[in-house]
Amino acid sequence: MFTRTDDKITTAQTVVIISCYMLGSGVLTLPRTLTERVKTADGWISLILGWLIIMLAGICIVKLCQQFPGKTIYQFVQEIVGSWIGSCLSMLMILYFVAISAFQIRVMAEVTMLYLLESTPIWAIVMSFMWIGLYLITSGINSIARLFEIILPITIIVLLICMFLSSKIFDINNVRPVLGEGLFPVIRGLKTTILVFLGYEIMIILPAFMQHPQKGVKALIIGTSIPLVLYLITFIMVVGALSVDGVVRSTWPTLDLMRSFEITGLLFERFEFFLLVIWIMQIFSTFTITFYAGSLGLAQLFQKNIQPIMYGLIPIIYIVALLPKNMNELFDFGDFVSSVSIYLFGLLPVLLLLITKIFKKGAVKEDG
Amino acid sequence: MWKTIVSYIPDGIVFVQALVILIVPIIIYFTSKWLQSALGTRPSEDTPTENKSEENTPENGKAETEATLSFTGKYEADLASIKKKIAKNCDVHFREFTMATGKKAAIIYVEGLYDKELIEVQVMKSLMFDDAEETEKPSDDTKKSSDDTKITKTYLMNKMLPISEIREALNLQELISDILVGSTAMLIDGIVEVLLLGSATGKTRSIEEPLSEGLLRGPRVGFTEILSDNTAVLRRHGKNESLEMIKFQVGTRAKKDLVVAYMNDIVNSELLEEVKRRIEAINMDYLPESGYVEQLIEDNTLSPFQQAQNTERPDRVINSLLEGRVAILLDGSPFALIVPVTFSMLLQSPEDYYERWIPGTLLRMLRFLATFFALFAPALYISFISYHPGLIPTKLVMSIIDARQGVPFPSLIEALIMETSIEILREAGVRLPKPIGPAMGIVGGLIIGDAAVNAGLVSPFLVIVVAVTAISSFAIPSYSAGITLRLLRFLAMFSAAVLGAYGTILFFLLLFSHLVKLKSFGVPYISPAVPYRLDDWKDFIFRLPFKVMKRRPLMMKTKDSDRKK
Amino acid sequence: MDSMKRYFLFALSILFVLCLTGCWGNREIEDLSVNVGLALDVGEESELEQELAKEGDSYPKKNLITATLQTVPVLKGKSEKQSGSSKSSPMYLNTEETGDSIFQLYRQFSLRRYRPIIGHHLKVIVISSELSRKMDLNKLLKFISRDNDIRPSCLILISKEKASEALISSQSGDIPSFHLRSMVENQFRNNKILAPMILTKLDGIMNSGSSFILQNLVSAKGEVEFAGAGVIKGKINKWIGTLNEHEVEGLNWIRGEIEGGVIKTYDKSGEVLAYEIKSAKTKIKTKVQGNDISFHVSIESDGRLIENWDTSQVPTDDKFLKEAEGYFEEELKEMLHKTIHKIQEVYHVDVGGFNNKLRIQHPKVWKKVKKEWDETFSQSDITYDVKLNITDYGSSTK
């Protein structure tokens, strides 16, 4: 066969995967969740600070992975802490990924049922979505990366256009004053922003697939700053239009922003459809990559073929997705899973990195 | 605690659904695997053995032993054995005559295929009359060697037959097959080998402008059915030593020539090897058109997308060769195949390059837009009308409601009626004789459309949508890609009918999931869109000025990536 | 081969099942009626409803609200369509329902009309001042802002008389909801129109607890006119009074929402002078001294002298222009004075956007006074200066 070197993912593809993973359900809820905690319009500062923290955690993960070139965390965690603890940690991460993918699917289904398909049963929405996801991931990380590369530019362009159009009802007074109540509210929002920026943790597996793993940090920085910029724009536009008091009243504030104006004369008067389109695509990307990360983990943990595992995971994800009974539980579920990630992908990598450095494990070149 | 846990255990129905979610993809997986293996005419290991078994059938074996016997050199015996083989055919003629030297000779040809002038003027004349005056010289030569016959053959070839195309047949089998494709055989008493003179010059079509790929600006040259003409057209593109053409024979029963053309200092050698390998593995008794080759060497039989580009335009082939692609030409087909193909190629036309870059870019963008419409316009119509009235501008909603009053069908059925009739019209238009075709189009398009609206079968809005879709699909330069899009449009319509706009989005995702998986000879089908290669984007949606396009496409991994020296 | 066939059949049947279960939320567009306008009045059953109730249409409810739903299009038969618009049948259909829960009222609708209504295209909500005096706006609009069909882009208006009258038009071919919607866009021609108050904005304002004004409507003989504004006091979210057109104009100056329009005054001989506003800029400066909060409003505007009836004066004369500017400034100051007096002394509410200025300029102070802002505002000093420049005089010098 005509073998090609691009069977590994390029740095650009790594960037795209990180960005697509991060841009998930958060786009629609971020302005509310953040403003609920910050209570002023300064959430955007929290976003930047949160991003910095995320960067640090991400760099730790990348550094850790660079100690074990060509291996994912599932493969090398056992080398660091022994097979028992290692397997447990791997299992936790797999559970995390499964939970995230289930959560994303459920949120997608809820919004779709609210705004697009009112009387369609949830299983119909979820089922078709999952099958297409499965179809994509069976052909591995390369196809996933290529699809994300198609989705991301569409997302960025459409989101920017939507936000630009919404400037019609934007009122700068709503996002002023900057730091009117000092830094304290900003700090309060940090936790939310860190949760919003989840997605960097995909770097625990990506360096193993990269053509140039040494560019991992660069990819991470660019990959996380794309969502940062998009989130910043979204946040400012939404709060600017809906005002702090209005944002906290809205379940899906970004959608409400799009629904709050009509531009007659353009071919389309209403633009929430476009937002929903790119949003569903983004959920699809988050779902597929977490699904893939989960099944890859299982495959590497039990050293089995990955395909049957992907098939096997589908019903599990489906059942998990249907567990929350109402919206509150759904959001709680999301919060819980995200909080777990702070320990799993914030503190754990630092520990692992320390252990690796102290006991000089990993690649030989680090020793020399 | 226990109670809360129990309350979270989902209903039985959820488990059933979960099971369905699991089982359906597994079934699809096995079905597609089975289909792949059942349909997969793709090269596999068992091909050569099959070939052998066919040749080793008893009758063939007998014929073979007879055929491989080389000629005896005895005129009567050889002629008899040839006659026995092919004299049954009414169009095979044997012309026996006596050479000036007194030897008996015969010319065997197929009526209508042989080069009459060549044989009469250059061969028979020189053999029957001119021989006498040159007898002195051959007698010198004959003395040099005792082997009389051999010298005569070389002498014949060197001195007596002033024609370029001359070969010798070594055995009966080869001779007969060559006679039947148009060569003229010459049998001379005392010469063991039978000479084959000239080649077929049957009536052929002259070079015309290609019908399927019309251009306003660009060479008016298209391929014809004659392989040698086609290779000649390619050769004529300019002085270029690196253009190489290798010949293959394909077809187990009726053998045909197939030429693989490439630029030897550009093409990726792995790609070339792969093309050769797949062509050698073709196992088919007869290949009437290059479409057969296309389908026999493609990567994925189940994909709706074509995996080789067919073209009638030599300029397009040369351009592709210069990009590092490989062209496959089959005798008897005016369509050359270009591999590997990418989706963007199907939306490009040579005209993009002949016009200046700004209009060229505009045309390309229009084509991308047209593709989008051709694929999604009816689907969006259905999903908006049936599911999302809230997403249409208010005034439009009112006029649509007004217009659709009295339409008895849901939008899906309505759209299907119109789309199907348009497709049938289109198909009919291809078959109809040229003078009637346009008239039929007008009758079909205008009258049926108008009548359907008046009769209240469909709404005028749908007619607009269908018309836009149809026009858009004509804007796609490649006919084959157009068919694919037409097919996919129906799928999009169904998904929209089931899940509204959500279904359309899912269809989009499914389509692109398929496209990113698909490869044509190892090149991702969706390149150069992804993976991001800025250099390749210069010739993608945009067609940048030539000064900027300095390199060959990176995706082709060419040996020589610089277009300029 | 048999097993393959079975696979194939199975896959096929699954496909069919999927197709059959399809088309769930599917409602063809022509079977729907589009709700474009909603009027909320104090509950009072119409004659028709009373009669229907007598016949047995009754369910447990309190008659608090009468909702008038305007739906389009009214379907015409084919023959009627061809005969053209010579017939003056209205293009809309108003249906009244009385009850309490607005959601229920919406759903009651399907008991009376066969085509279900969709709310995606709701353009205006008109609330009668009487109803809004009695009921908390927050309660009235809860359903509207929560519903997933109704877009938060719909416009909220107050009507002095019965709100349902605002949804009636005497002109045939006119749909009152669209009419009202587009009239709001006329702000660039007339400064007596308030910036459109859409549901999204209203949501935020009501949640913040500040007072606000809504565009007021008056209607007579099937004609609807924008006139003044209804004042809604924050916290209680109830209507407390109206501002007249003049005061709305003044308020627009203060809020810096002037996009165009006119200032008309009289010169010393009583002749009309008119000034066309080309641009206007308002700056509010907040000063905090101890517990005293004071505001300074400075207004600057460029415009054109568009009308002067005193023909002896020519605008090419600089002196005359200066003089005219003086008249206009005086007129504007007068207007501001009246407006500020009204909101501070009469209604005791801040509807001029001063709270925002304080919040931005002195966030710490704002936090302290936020709770009792309307009272604090009524006590604070407001000063203003006005600068109008006549930059040109159109295409005529005389």
Task: Give the highest mean pLDDT range of B116-125, B547-556, C123-132, C347-356.
Answer: C123-132
Chain A residues with beta carbon closer than 8 angstroms to that of C24:
117, 119-121, 124
Tokens 């004053």 belong to residue? A177
Chain A, window 250-279: residues with a beta carbon less than 8 angstroms from a chain B beta carbon: 262, 264, 268-270, 272-273, 276-277
pLDDT at B44: 40
Q: Are residues C282 and C234 in the same domain?
A: no
Counted across chains B and C, CB pairs separated by less than 8 A come out at: 82
Where among C243, C271, C297 does a domain terminate? Answer: C243
Residue B508: is its pLDDT beyond 90?
A: yes
Chain C residues with beta carbon closer than 8 angstroms to that of A259:
151-153
pLDDT at B226: 85
pLDDT in tens, C61-79: 888 888 888 888 777 654 4
Who among B10, B19, B529 is closest to A323 (CB)? B10
pLDDT in tens, A93-112: 999 999 999 999 999 999 88
Q: Are C73 and B402 a contacting pair at CB < 8 A?
A: yes
Amino acid identity at C373: W
Decide: helix, strand or coil at residue A18: helix
Question: Which of A139-143, A246-250, C56-60 is predicted with the least confidence, judged by mean pLDDT?
Answer: C56-60
Q: Are residues C118 and C256 in the same domain?
A: no
Are the C-beta atoms of residues C255 and C212 closer than 8 Å to each other?
Answer: no
Rounded to two decimals, the pTM is: 0.87
Considering only CA atoms, give the Rg of chain A: 21
Who among B21, B392, B517 is closest to A314 (CB)? B21
A326 CB within 8 Å of a chain B CB: no
Give percent above pLDDT 90 in chain C: 0
B197-206 average pLDDT score: 73
B553 CB within 8 Å of a chain A CB: no
Q: Are B31 and C73 a contacting pair at CB < 8 A?
A: no
Residue B34: is its pLDDT beyond 60?
A: yes
More confident residue, B299 or B59: B299
Q: Are A139 and B500 a contacting pair at CB < 8 A?
A: no
The shortest C-alpha distance from B494 to chain C (Å) reads: 9
Q: Kindly identify which residue of chain B lies nearest to residue C75, measuring between CA atoms.
A: B402
Instruction: Determine which of C147, C200, C360, C368 to mutate to test the interface with A (most A C-beta atoms within 10 Å).
Output: C200
Are the C-beta atoms of residues C49 and C173 closer than 8 Å to each other?
Answer: no
Residue C18: is its pLDDT beyond 60?
A: no
Decide: helix, strand or coil at residue B426: helix
Confidence class of residue B488 from pLDDT cuts 50, 70 and 90?
Answer: very high
Please give, one letter per residue, the 3-state secondary structure of B331-362.
CCCCCEEEECCCHHHHCCCCHHHHCCHHHHHH
Are the C-beta atoms of residues B267 and B240 closer than 8 Å to each other?
Answer: no
Give percent above pLDDT 70 in chain B: 89
Chain A residues with beta carbon closer than 8 angstroms to that of C25:
117-120
Side-chain half-sphere exposure of C236, counting CA atoms within 13 A? 12
Give percent above pLDDT 90 in chain B: 8
Burial A322-343 (b: 16+ CB within 10 A, else e): bbbeeeeebbebbeebbebbbe
User: Domain containing C155: what range?
Assistant: 28-243
Chain A residues with beta carbon closer than 8 angstroms to that of C359:
177, 180
Q: Are residues C109 and C238 in the same domain?
A: yes
Q: Are residues C164 and C271 in the same domain?
A: no
C-alpha pair distances (Å), B88 with each of B70, B82, B184: 22, 11, 17
Confidence class of residue C83 from pLDDT cuts 50, 70 and 90?
Answer: very low
Q: Are B24 and C14 a contacting pair at CB < 8 A?
A: yes
Where among C243, C272, C295 does a domain terminate? Answer: C243
Confidence class of residue B167 from pLDDT cuts 50, 70 and 90?
Answer: confident
Confidence class of residue B411 from pLDDT cuts 50, 70 and 90?
Answer: confident
Are the C-beta atoms of residues A22 and A243 closer than 8 Å to each other?
Answer: no
Domain boundaries, chain B: 69-197, 227-341, 353-524
Token pair in block for residue A298:
């299982």
Q: What is the mean pLDDT of chain C?
A: 81
Residue B209: is its pLDDT beyond 70?
A: yes
> The complex's ipTM?
0.92
Q: What is the mean pLDDT of chain B?
A: 80
Chain B residues with beta carbon closer than 8 angstroms to that of C82:
none
Beta bridge partners of C97: C67
Q: Are residues C237 and C307 in the same domain?
A: no
Are the C-beta atoms of residues B471 and B479 closer than 8 Å to each other?
Answer: no
Who among A118, A174, A181 is closest to C25 (CB)? A118
Instruction: Determine which of C1, C28, C79, C150 to mutate to test the interface with B (most B C-beta atoms within 10 Å).
Output: C28
pLDDT in tens, B412-455: 888 888 888 888 888 887 787 877 777 777 777 778 888 888 88
Question: Which of A359-368, B92-101, B319-328, C279-288 is predicted with the least confidence, judged by mean pLDDT?
Answer: A359-368
Residue B54: is its pLDDT beyond 50?
A: no
Q: Are residues C50 and C112 in the same domain?
A: yes
The shortest C-alpha distance from C360 to chain A (Å) reads: 5
Chain B residues with beta carbon closer than 8 angstroms to that of C29:
384-386, 389, 392, 397, 400-401, 404, 411
Residue C10 lies in a domain: no
A339-352 average pLDDT score: 85
Report chain A residues touching chain C, CB-CB < 8 A.
114-115, 117-121, 124, 169, 173-174, 176-177, 180-181, 241-250, 256-257, 259-262, 270
Confidence class of residue C23 from pLDDT cuts 50, 70 and 90?
Answer: low
pLDDT in tens, C207-249: 888 888 888 888 877 788 888 888 888 888 888 888 888 888 8
B9 alpha-carbon distance from chain centroid? 58
Instruction: Determine which of C20, C26, C70 to mutate to test the interface with B (most B C-beta atoms within 10 Å).
Output: C26
pLDDT in tens, A21-42: 988 878 888 888 888 888 888 8
pLDDT at A200: 84
Q: Are B532 and A12 a contacting pair at CB < 8 A?
A: yes
C192-218 average pLDDT score: 85
Q: Are residues C228 and C319 in the same domain?
A: no
Enter the CATH code of domain A9-355. Answer: 1.20.1740.10
- What are the φ/ψ torsions at residue B443 (nearest 5 degrees)? -55, -50
C4 CB within 8 Å of a chain B CB: yes
| C272 closest CA partner among C313, C231, C224 | C313
Decide: helix, strand or coil at residue B219: coil
Decide: helix, strand or coil at residue B472: helix
pLDDT at C256: 82
Rounded Cα distance between B425 and B65, Å, is: 57
pLDDT at C14: 60
Decide: helix, strand or coil at residue C223: strand
A168-193 average pLDDT score: 81
Are the C-beta atoms of residues B218 and B315 closer than 8 Å to each other?
Answer: yes
User: Angle of helix A306-322 relative to helix B12-39, nearest 10 degrees?
Assistant: 150
Residue C1 lies in a domain: no
The shortest C-alpha distance from A293 to chain C (Å) reads: 29
pLDDT in tens, B136-162: 444 444 444 444 444 567 777 777 777
Decide: helix, strand or coil at residue B109: strand
Token pair in block for residue C136:
């908390």
The shortest C-alpha distance from A257 to chain C (Å) reads: 8
Confidence class of residue C354 from pLDDT cuts 50, 70 and 90?
Answer: confident
Q: Are residues C56 and C96 in the same domain?
A: yes
Q: Are residues C217 and C265 in the same domain?
A: no
Token pair in block for residue A10:
């390029």
C20 CB within 8 Å of a chain B CB: no
pLDDT in tens, B326-336: 999 998 889 99
Rounded Cα distance between B348 and B341, Å, is: 12
More confident residue, C184 or B293: B293
**Total structural domains within chain C:** 2
Question: Which of A96-110, C10-24, C147-161 is predicted with the least confidence, judged by mean pLDDT?
Answer: C10-24
Q: Are residues C219 and C264 in the same domain?
A: no
Residue B134: is its pLDDT beyond 50?
A: no
Chain C residues with beta carbon closer than 8 angstroms to that of B27:
7, 10-11, 14
pLDDT at C13: 62
pLDDT at B375: 92
Who among B19, B29, B509 is closest to A132 (CB)? B509
